Structure 1
Amino acid sequence: MLAVVGTIPDPTIPVLEGTIDFQNGRLAVDGREFSPDRGTPALLAASAVTCRCLQLQPPYAFLVGDEGLGKGSRNIYEYLTRILPQQTFSTLAFHYLQPDVDWHDRILLSIQSLTTFPTLVADAGFMYAAKMSGNAGAYTLFTPDVGELAFLADEMAPHPFYTRGFILQDDEKIQELVVRAYAHQNAAQCLLVKGSTDHIANKEGVLARVSSPSIEAMEAMGGTGDTVTGMACALIESGFDVSRAAWVAAQANRHAGELADLNPASQIGELITHIPAALERALKELQ
């Protein structure tokens, strides 16, 4: 089963866990409803729809309220260290969480105690912690944007705020940063670098690029990076090789944006509605 760990920007929400229920545009976890318009709810909704398309059981979620101050993240970290050793998740994805190296390492130790080590995916804050801890190699997929890739490539940066000013003028610079991130062991087995052109890469360098269809409105929309990560998690859970899962997710995300006919006022839920048709199209293109 795929499990996702993340936060909701509402400090009143306690630690929640449960199977995701996504119906009629509303996301429910443990009796609470959330709008899937951005952040972890967008990732969860996209992964739930993709799992349904692939005839997988719905994802499981661990959520907590955290408006960015870290209290909620620490609560869920502590909770996970206690309950993860009793779980049997095959894919485990970590999303928006306050980066904390000490708690990251405790979580990783808990995961390593499992009989079967799950496939690990990290995005956003938890990806930062994975890199900062020196344990990026334990992960199968990171999904950075171009700015976050610069952080992974900077072996001296202890936090994204202190990333050196790498100039990202063209595609060749992304290739250089990918090589640099792997040279310093700061990258997962695969990278899905999200941007105006998406790049799928591993230690050999950039493997593939996805640039079409180009949907201008998606560049300004919050949540489109979350949906592509959610789709990639579900595809990995279904058995896809990680680089192929990353490519299909990136391509399907663009197709969904095109099918939704997005504009600057659109909400991410409009894109999520079109994931089934977009995924079908991307899978045909993969063949």
Structure 2
Amino acid sequence: MLVIAGTVPDPNFPLVTGPAYLEGRSLKVGNYLIPILRGTPALVAAAIRTAEFVGDKPPHVLLAGDTGRGGGSRLVYQHIVENAHSFAAATLTFHYLQPEVDWHNRILMALDALPLPPVRIADAGFMYAAKMSGYATSYDLFTPDVGELAFLADEKAPHPFYTRGFILHQDQQAPELIKRAYAHDNAAGHLLVKGAVDLFASGENIHWRIDSPGCEVMEAMGGTGDTITGMASALIASGIHMEKACHMAALANRHAGMLTQPTPATQVVEIIRAIPQALAMCTGD
């Protein structure tokens, strides 16, 4: 089972849990429709398309409205702590959540107490919380872009805003940033670094790089990094080995861009529609 925890940018959106489906250009969770623009909705939509492709059930989501004040994020945190038993043996992906170390640590303790803890994947705000807490190594996979990787690599920065200027967040610096993150125990067991060149690493070792096919327009599109994390999460939840799942997700994201031929006006939902065909190109189906 894949569970995705995150937020939507609507301060009036309540805590909603349940399986997520696609309806036109929106997610449907219960009686709620959520536009797929970027962020967690884009990640969830990509996971839905991927789950359909591999024949899995749709992901279960935990969503609340939050525009940066933290109220919705705390509702999600609290729900996970109070219902931790239901996530045993699942794949649990944390996304856009206001980073709060105390709540993060409560979740980690609750999950660690399970007889079969879930596979733990973190991106965006929750990845920040994991690093800030000092427990980054408790995670199976982080999916940063190069800017986020720079924060992981800075052992002194308490928050991304304070990443030191000499730590460059440029694509060509990614290998060095990976080494720094692992040297200071600020990385998960595996890293999928998203960018013009996608990298997969563990323990300072870079296992593969992907730089083609390339679609420059996607670099400036909101949500295209979220789609990689969504695909990788669904593939891992289906039982595919993590390294292979991340490779498929990164490559399929590139194929989806080439199939869509995006312009600066293209929305990420158009990329998501091409995911099944893009995954088929990766598997030869």
Asked if Structure 1 and Structure 2 have the same fold, meaning a TM-score greater than 0.5 normalized by the shorter chain, the answer is yes
Match of 1:114 in 2: 114
Alignment of 1:207-246 (within 5 A): 207-246=207-246
- What letter corresponds to residue 266 of structure 2 in structure 1? S
Q: 1:259 to 1:67 in 2, by over 3 A?
A: same
1:74 Cα deviation from its structure 2 partner: 1.3
The residue number in structure 2 matching 1:183 is: 183
**Structure 2 portions without partners, runs of 5+:** none
Asked if residue 133 in structure 1 is aligned to residue 136 in structure 2, the reply is no
Retained in 2: the 8 A contact 1:8–1:64? yes
Quote the residue 1:280 is aligned against.
Answer: 280
Q: Which amino acid aligns with 1:189?
A: G
Q: Aligned-pair distance for 1:89?
A: 5.0
What SS does the aligned partner of 2:73 have? helix
The one-letter amino acid of 2:144's match is P
Kindly state the Cα deviation for residue 208 of structure 1 after the two structures are TM-superposed.
1.1
Helix, strand or coil at the partner of 1:20: strand
- Give the match for residue 32 of structure 2: 32
- Cα distance in 2 for partners of 1:4, 1:80 equals 11
Deviation at 1:27, TM superposition (A): 1.0
Q: Is the alpha carbon distance of 1:238 and 1:170 closer, same or farther for their aligned partners in structure 2, counting shifts above 3 Å?
A: closer
Question: What is the correspondence of 1:38-53 to structure 2 with a 5 Å cutoff?
Answer: 38-53=38-53
Q: Residues 79-118 of structure 1: CA distance to partner in whole angstroms, max 9, x if unpaired? A: 2211122444510000000001110000111111222111
> Aligned residues, how many?
284
Instruction: Give the letter aligned to residue 83 of structure 1.
Output: N
State the shift of 1:169 in Å: 5.0
Task: Give me the whole-angstrom Cα distance separating, in 2, the residues matched to 1:137 and 1:207.
Answer: 19
Does the 8 A contact of 1:100 with 1:129 survive in 2? yes
Structure 2 letter corresponding to 1:210: I
Mapped contact 1:35–1:41 kept (Cα < 8 A): yes
1:178-210 per-residue CA deviation (whole Å, 9 max, x = no partner) reads 111111111111111111111111114221111
> Are the counterparts in 2 of residues 140 and 242 from structure 1 also a CA contact under 8 Å?
no
1:259 is matched with 259
> What is residue 100 of structure 1 aligned with on the other side?
100
Contact 1:2 1:89 in 2 (8 A): no
Write out per-residue CA displacement over residues 129-164 of structure 1, whole angstroms, 9 at most, x where no aligned residue: 001111111111101010110110111111111111
Q: Deviations over 1:213-271 (max 9, x none)?
A: 11111011000001010000011111122122111101000100110111100001100
Runs of 4+ in 1 over 6 A off after TM superposition: none
Decide whether aligned partners of structure 1 residues 170 and 6 sit closer, same or farther in structure 2, where only a CA change above 3 A counts: closer
Partner of 2:174, secondary structure, is: helix
The alignment partner of 2:83 has SS state of helix
Q: In angstroms, what is the RMSD of aligned CA positions?
A: 1.4
Paired with 1:184 and 1:116, the residues of 2 have a C-alpha distance of 28
Shift of 1:168: 4.3
Shift, 1:66, TM fit: 0.3
SS in 2 for 1:130: helix
Partner of 1:13: 13
Q: Point out the more displaced range, 90-99 or 75-84.
A: 75-84
- What are the ranges of 5 or more consecutive residues in structure 1 without an aligned counterpart? none
Kindly, what percent of the aligned residue pairs are identical? 52
2:150 maps to amino acid: A
TM-score of the superposition, structure 1-length normalised? 0.95
Closer, same or farther: CA 223–205 of 1 in aligned 2, 3 Å: same
Q: Is 2:158 aligned against 1:167?
A: no
Q: In 1, distance between residues paired with 2:98 and 2:256?
A: 30
TM-score by length of 2: 0.96
Q: Cα distance, 1:36 vs. partner?
A: 1.4
Read off the aligned partner of 1:274 and give its amino acid letter.
A
Paired residue type of 2:223: G
Compared CA separation, residues 101 and 262, structure 1 to 2 (3 A): same
Distance 2:268 2:170 in 1: 28
Name the residue aligned to 2:57. 57
Counterpart position of 1:73: 73
* Cα pair 2:213 2:254 within 8 Å, conserved: yes
